[in-house]
Structure 1
Amino acid sequence: MINEEKIKLMNKMAMYEEKQGQEDFKISSYHKKDYTSFQTILTLIWVTIGYALIIGVLAVVFLDMILENLGLLMLAVIAAAILIVYIVLLISYGLFASRFYQKKHTRARGRVKKYTRMLTQLERYYGQERKKKYE
């Protein structure tokens, strides 16, 4: 006899495995601090690369203006502005990324725990069927 509850449970599990399961299993395999630190460092590296590219493009675009007004003071002001904006950008992205990836890990871990509970429940259904079969 077909158990409808078992079929519904198996369907929920299959949907989860297809949609989010693989990513959640990968995320929850890390400790929260390790996952958050690694992803935050990657974010900061990409922010640095992006910022360097933007500064490079702006330097090329405004090269004429920079060369006309080039002086030691102007060069120091531009370098200080670039450095300050970079530090502010790095700190803000670092804080945002850290919080974002902590939440992402917590949610993934919760979904994996729910999936594990469904597996346990499914195992109980099969255990009940085996008992009935041998009685």
Structure 2
Amino acid sequence: MLNEQKIKKMRKLATYESGKGRKQLRISKYYRSDYIGLSLIKNFFLTTIAYGLLLLVYFGSKSDYLMDNINQIDVVALGVKVILFYLVMIAGYSIITYVYCSVKYRQAQEGVEEYYQELSQLKKMYDREETKAGKAAKRRKA
């Protein structure tokens, strides 16, 4: 016999698993510190690549000026500015990544917790049905 409540619950669970639950279930497999740490490592490499590309574009656009004034440029001061800007960029994006991943992890934990509650409710429905079927079978035997 079909139970509409079970069907609705299973459909809700399947929709979650195939939608936003796919990412949330993957995120929830990590410890919070591991998830955020991995994201920060990715952030470091991606920010470094982006910074390198920005430097190439900037110095490429200023190449005429650099070639004309190569002897008058204070290379040490320029190097210090480049490194300071890099450190500021890394720090800024790391803070943004940390906050973003913390919020994302918390939302994933809440979503997965709700998913597991729904799953346990579905299991209770099956258990109740099973005990009813077992009692009915015992009555028939008696």
Alpha-carbon distance in 2 for matches of 1:41, 1:94 = 9
Gaps of 5+ in 1: none
Amino acid at match of 1:113: E
Deviation for aligned residue 1:119: 0.9
**How many residue pairs align between the two structures?**
135
Alignment match, 2:140: none
Alpha-carbon distance in 1 for matches of 2:72, 2:29 = 53
* Coordinate RMSD, CA, aligned: 1.5
TM-score, length basis structure 2 = 0.87
Alpha-carbon distance in 2 for matches of 1:104, 1:128 = 36
Alpha-carbon distance in 1 for matches of 2:71, 2:37 = 41
Alignment match, 2:6: 6
Alignment match, 1:134: 134
Contact 1:40/1:101, CA 8 A, preserved across alignment: no
Alpha-carbon distance in 2 for matches of 1:16, 1:94 = 31
| Greater Rg over alpha carbons, structure | 2
Alignment match, 2:49: 49
Identity of aligned residues (%): 28
Written as runs of structure 1 = structure 2, the 5 A alignment for 1:24-103 is 24-71=24-71, 73-103=73-103
Range with bigger deviation, 77-86 or 31-40: 77-86
TM-score, length basis structure 1 = 0.91
Name the SS of the counterpart of 2:74 in structure 1: helix
Amino acid at match of 1:109: Q
Deviation for aligned residue 1:73: 4.8
Name the SS of the counterpart of 1:70 in structure 2: coil
Alpha-carbon distance in 2 for matches of 1:90, 1:107 = 25
Deviation for aligned residue 1:72: 5.9
